[in-house]
Structure 1
Amino acid sequence: MGDRMSDLPFKSMDEVKSFAAEMKSQLDAEGYRALLFLLGLLDNQGVSRVVEIDGKSIEIDCYIAPIVEELNRRGFKTLSCCSGLDEEHENVDYKSDVGYISFVFDVKLYDYLQNKLGNSYVVKQSEAYLTPSIYVEVSGINDTEKKKKWVKLWETLRLFDSV
């Protein structure tokens, strides 16, 4: 992963939140929403439901909420996610064409996902909320294809037992 984390201007998410708060008075409403989006602080804009993860109430896109809940119960540490489904993001300003899920980086999980998912998914080392992570992208030409890939990813993760 290199030393990318130490090069960041922020050392904690509290610093990121403070920066956003300082910038609020200098931006119009749309500019501030764009900044929150870029910093990963914009509230979930899709069709979601609240789930409890590590004692915190978090909004997760409805389709993947059961997946994220189960993974966290099993010891996977998820950091961020988006279903990428058009049906859950019809009326949002900032929309991704792909779904994704990020986990706290674990070399065994990373190697497992790279070996089991092949090139039908993007699996890469990344950062999420200033934390080294594994990013898994779920893409498809439509919601039906993306849902099939979410199911395959979930089934693949169910077989991983080293968390």
Structure 2
Amino acid sequence: MKLTVISKTPVQIWRDSSVKIADIWKKKGFLTTEETQKLLLASLKSFDEDDFDNLSLKFRTSYMFTITDLIEQLTPKQFCQIIPIKKDFSGHKWGCKDYFYTRDWIEKNIGWDSKIPDGFQFLMEYWADDIFNLSSWMMTVISDNQRRQSGKSLFKKFAEENGIKFHTLEEFGSE
């Protein structure tokens, strides 16, 4: 038996896997549930915010919609098979999401066996480290699109609409 040394990072290995499955998608025109799960897992595991931040806003936006569209092909039960809800049970103590929050939200709003109707909202409500990082990045992409359209980020628009004044380093001068 001959062993081959793989000199790739885990992100590169996941990225190669997602490319192979995407090629299957292009050839067949559709994916089975299992293939969708594999592509989604590979896409989520190969996500590296630093790599994506250097890409065009159009590409980042397209990637974001591709991920949410893939999520909408699955049920919460199928999604949990590839990215389990983080087993963190102290959300009530800190006023944040945890395992119980996510489980209850799914049961109340979707059900475990129904297709996910809104992939973006699902990501925003889901509790897992990989998902938290991705959803935070997605909010940045949305904010960048908002800034391109109006000249103001989501945060700045929110602050203005709610009478919140914030200061910038430029106001204080550089040191």
- TM-score range for the pair, normalised by the shorter chain length: under 0.3
More helix as a share of residues: 2
TM norm structure 2: 0.24
More strand as a share of residues: 1
